A and B are shown apart, each in its own frame.
Chain A
Amino acid sequence: MTAIKVRGLTKSYGEVRAVRGIDLDIQPGEVFAVLGPNGAGKSTTVEILEGHRRRDGGEVSVLGVDPGQATREWRSRIGIVTQNADDKPEATVRELVTHFAGYYPAPMDPDEVMDRVGLREKERSRVRALSGGQRRRLDVALGIVGRPQLLFLDEPTTGFDPAARRAFWELISGLSDGGTTILLTTHYLDEAEALADRVAVVARGQVVAQGDPHSLGGRTGGQATVSWRENGERRSVRTGIPSRTVIELAERFDGEVPELTVTRPTLEDVYLSLIEETP
């Protein structure tokens, strides 16, 4: 059984067609990233999957249930990480984790959850005394305390410094190793590349590309760029057979080619060209 299956999803706000026929298949245990610019229909899609928003058309199945008919039992099997653990500034970390555990049929031990997200030392701290990164860890703690089979993470590292982001990625990888299916939305391509097994790029309400982040948009096949220096100026050619080009250059220079590089488009290049293409 797929964890998430979406066929022909549509949603309009008045005249604006925010989602125009999205299909997705996400397998159990997979980390799946949804990339896309603001207003692409990314948040609307995820909110429909979370059962927070009604759809206009299409079929949606999340853990075998239509989120439009969400039950408590279904809610106990999913976790949603939102970005607002600062809304109860006077509560302590332990109080919130223990309280949320009480919503679920078979929650994790609060100590274990706090260990997992690295907040055990802060268990007696009031929420207002936590740093931004620690608050986001608390958000994750509240999202996973019910042992979800599927976790939704909405732009989890926005505003993090690089070290905090690396540490957060390790936390998410750890959850995934435990078998949790994760649906991640993000603006950061390096984040998608580091965490996701597969990514979908959403633009103008549609999935414009989908696949493994390393080969997305024909990154591994297709054209590479070979550059070098010759007669004092930088030269480059785009080619589908870069190895042959390098051999020819080596023969021509009879040895070392000055300042030789072979590059393929980065995920960012691919992403930007995908979202810029006209509909």
Chain B
Amino acid sequence: MTILFVVQRYGLDIAGGAELHCRLVAEHLAKFYPVEIATTCANDYLTWKNVYAPGTEVVNGIKVHRFAVTRQRPSDFDILAHNVLYGYPTAEQQIQYLDAHGPFCPSLIEYLKKNSQFDRYVLFSYRYWTTWHALHCVGKNAVLVPTAELDRTLHLDIYKKAFHKPMAIAYNSIEERRNINQISNNFLVPGLTVGVGLPETKTPLSDHENYDALNIPDKYFIYIGRIEEAKGCCNLITDYLAYHQNTNNPLALVLMGKQHISLPNHPGIFYLGIQPDHVKMSLLSQAEALIMPSKYESLSMVLLEAWKSSRPVVCNAHCDVLTGQCKRSGGGLYYRNTEEFIEALVLISSRPDLGVMLGQQGLAYYRKHYDWSVIIDKYHCLLEGSGDNV
């Protein structure tokens, strides 16, 4: 069985969750099947500017076919998106939104139409132009990995219909599956709640000098990911400042990731920028807890990384996926407002025994559900067209 993955961006330097998810699954499935990738030449999900050369290259032993994006995202996309997502858009306006959202890459779809040698397709992230068109082109042989957050895009009719197209769906969480099933009414499409495992990390930070050079305190909470408003980071800063002001001996907040918003110059906040994986995992394993303020997540790989490191998490309770994961695993607390945020942080920092127990529960959950053998077995089922229909 030959498999072609279709994804909006692909490469070792692509930091996005869904893209990493795709690469990890492709690399693991490549041990069992011939696997190839069809993707764009873009590496920026906002502009879709062509950065990689079109053509075929090999990434970590997998053949990657790249196609140029022919239309970059328009400057007035936000206005168009607002009108479509918050109004009553016609089908034509929704297609116009999809075209503007991108990555607009007709040559990739032409490639799918002309190359029928693939037995199965794995399509990543429902909201992208490439995925939507691939679903309409090769849907009956495709496994869709929606990576869908519960936002307004999910309610657009063009997407609701698209969820009926694939032969099977690999959901990231029980909540994602429930949301998609209820909104699109695609109960008859076979599916499994799969998720994703984590990459093998290199040796944890052994060079102590490196750690010292980061110049952060011994005890801290950590946030890892894109530092932007959409990920809830503005609220995280506000909540943290309230925690700092209202607590005796508050711990520091370490932020790691690409910065898209301005950060206050505050003695408790430490921004480390983008760090290599082994530094990230090392700092995560030494943190009091990982904080995840995002309201829109379909899985959150960094949550799994925290549990793999036996660390507890503190999540935004407004995200049903994160709350569900915390409740099922027993690996973290979830806050609805600033007061609960403060109490959760005080509780974890003042009771290290609780942090250890939550972390252990998280680790057990991770091993049970996100070990690669479990994930790949589920993909075998889906690729053979089976899943548990609701």
Binding between chains A and B = no
Measured CB to CB, the residues of B under 8 A from A are none
Measured CB to CB, the residues of A under 8 A from B are none
